[in-house]
Structure 1
């Protein structure tokens, strides 16, 4: 389908959306529901999906239950499992694109390489590259919604000698499906959320698997199962049943936030995780290596019922010795051992707090995002940034979760952005900007709230924290609190100026 044109050749769209994952699509659907069709979605890849397009590693699935990890306004009655797998989530996303007629708004193969606010025209100028863009092409938008998500830039450690390795290497988010792991000697570096999903899958077919662990994760049992035919029939015929399931799951997940600030509650959850480890790993030495030395919740708590058994296989070894060097065909660890491997798979996560270090985003009066964030990334409610009018971040700083569904946060943020756009239209102003004082007050609250929380005081380093140990990623309270804060925009927190053209 052809892309819906702006008002005229070279003229600005009302809204430009970057990304077609859950965030970008929710923003687009929200605009259409309010009668706004003058928008374009820019997608660097050749299909929609965001995280669930990029991550195709074996065993890829969500660790939030299906009924909750989906839009509240678009329930799916025929989920196959309690925890959704990657292919089913991608199919759900494509269904939403079709149902809400979004394809006509999407430009594929179009990567945004820079965004600058033009003070003369009060528009955002986006520089484009890729097969879907013309050489030197610029797209303009009166507002910009950035829905790239916080977990889209793979992080690969700078290990000594890595460039000399003659085997195959890839990150879990860039899985090389052309490389057959069968019968190979494989190294997995990292033991985060992705690794605990693909390790059990590849352990079954490799000759040997060496898992290099720096810090063990806390792992809870995963209560996954097939959704029964009776349940699917009830969801289809009695929508209230599915809403009840969803609400129950939400409240269960939400209860976990109490443990982040209550040592007794988090200790109880830690006891369950410790029991899970004892039950699945009878070997005391291996169990010792897998026992975290920090408070549960300091890093994201993972869910799996097959990771520990995979480590018990005779062809799998877990090593906690640090890597000192990578050679042409091996990895050398601190104890002097040389582990011969044919392939290295990185399960080392993503750039989060440093993801924007090289981004070319320029606000009013030439303000670069790096200068605005020289003391650390921050945004008001994770959405708006002082000095960057009409810019809306989806899943921006301090709106990440360690206990519940990000879809809940996305929907709250979209509603908030729509309120900003309505206020802008009603005032006939050209620009809406959060006041620096409002942003400062909010972020002072975030850091006060984080000070005694498990992310900061739990004795670990994680992607929630920046290089100075400051929480820049996690929402430090309940999602109910976030919903209340974003439910109704406070006009006093914003500055409206200029004249709409």
Structure 2
């Protein structure tokens, strides 16, 4: 399924609009009748006589010729084993099991981890909390988020010229690829490979610099004030 242009988002990365985009795209592509929600897989076995996979879930049993395990390795929340954590008096929950009853405004918040979930929730917490302290094992690269609201004239242009949205998406993708140090190295290596395949000349030991910028500043911890 390719990039869908059925929804014009008002901002770059807000969760509600991404959620609505996924729901509407799944509906438009006719996927919803084939999806079983809130079903935990209990067992999956290959039946040699039937030549089928037998998948047992909390919502029933299915048989199929092909079984694709695409759940990811972070599907189940794992709480850190910290001595005395059961005595913590404040609100305590995992980002994968969000406590919507908890009030975070004006609180001193501690966040353990800086993965994909941390990228999403920490900036939102920082905007409303008294202080936010981030505990992490390894420092990731930090780059500007550059999130902003699309102006009315931009959204109108997206509606009138659908190809413009594809162009903006392509520009965002390759800009981010060039910004990431490792991705930029991979692209330059791929380009050198393509050049070596298209010519019979021997490969040079030195290549021209592509002007990669220095790595962004790393942050090891954000201390509470």
TM-score band by shorter chain is 0.7 to 0.9
2-structure distance, mates of 1:86, 1:214: 26
Unaligned residue ranges in structure 2 (runs of 5+):
189-208
36, 44, 55: which one aligns with 1:107? 36
Tell me the secondary structure at the aligned position of residue 168 of structure 2: helix
Residues 184 and 212, structure 2, Cα contact 8 Å, conserved in 1? no
The 3 A distance-change label for structure 1 pair 126 and 245 is: same
Residues 190 and 213, structure 1, Cα contact 8 Å, conserved in 2? yes
Structure holding more strand per residue: 1
Match of 2:185 in 1: 259
Shift of 1:174: 1.6
Shift of 1:207: 4.7
Match of 1:268 in 2: 213
1-structure distance, mates of 2:177, 2:125: 33
2-structure distance, mates of 1:217, 1:86: 22
The 3 A distance-change label for structure 1 pair 171 and 260 is: farther
Match of 1:121 in 2: 50
Question: Deviations for 1:330-373, whole angstroms, at most 9, x for unmatched residues?
Answer: xxxxxxxxxxxxxxxxxxxxxxxxxxxxxxxxxxxxxxxxxxxx
Match of 1:363 in 2: none
1-structure distance, mates of 2:21, 2:134: 33
Match of 1:248 in 2: 171
Q: Does 1:157 align with 2:80?
A: yes
After superposition, residues 61-76 of structure 1 pair within 5 angstroms as 71-72=2-3, 74-76=4-6
The 3 A distance-change label for structure 1 pair 128 and 182 is: same
Q: Does 1:180 align with 2:110?
A: no
Q: Does 1:214 align with 2:143?
A: no
Residues 77 and 242, structure 1, Cα contact 8 Å, conserved in 2? no
Residues 258 and 265, structure 1, Cα contact 8 Å, conserved in 2? no
Unaligned residue ranges in structure 1 (runs of 5+):
1-25, 27-70, 278-289, 293-310, 318-501
Shift of 1:269: 4.0
Query: Which of structure 1's runs of 4+ aligned residues deviate more than 6 A?
Result: 264-267
The 3 A distance-change label for structure 1 pair 258 and 186 is: closer
Q: Does 1:139 align with 2:69?
A: no
Residues 109 and 132, structure 2, Cα contact 8 Å, conserved in 1? yes
Quote the RMSD (CA, aligned, Å): 3.2
The 3 A distance-change label for structure 1 pair 260 and 124 is: same
Shift of 1:161: 3.2
1-structure distance, mates of 2:211, 2:86: 42
Q: Does 1:80 align with 2:10?
A: yes
Question: Deviations for 1:280-310, whole angstroms, at most 9, x for unmatched residues?
Answer: xxxxxxxxxx269xxxxxxxxxxxxxxxxxx
2-structure distance, mates of 1:225, 1:153: 32
Residues 77 and 236, structure 1, Cα contact 8 Å, conserved in 2? no
Shift of 1:157: 2.5
* Alignment coverage as a number of residue pairs: 203
Q: Does 1:238 align with 2:183?
A: no
1-structure distance, mates of 2:108, 2:165: 45
Shift of 1:182: 3.5
Shift of 1:267: 6.3
Match of 2:205 in 1: none
TM-score, normalised with respect to structure 2: 0.73
Shift of 1:266: 9.3
The 3 A distance-change label for structure 1 pair 147 and 201 is: same
The 3 A distance-change label for structure 1 pair 187 and 245 is: closer
2-structure distance, mates of 1:259, 1:233: 37
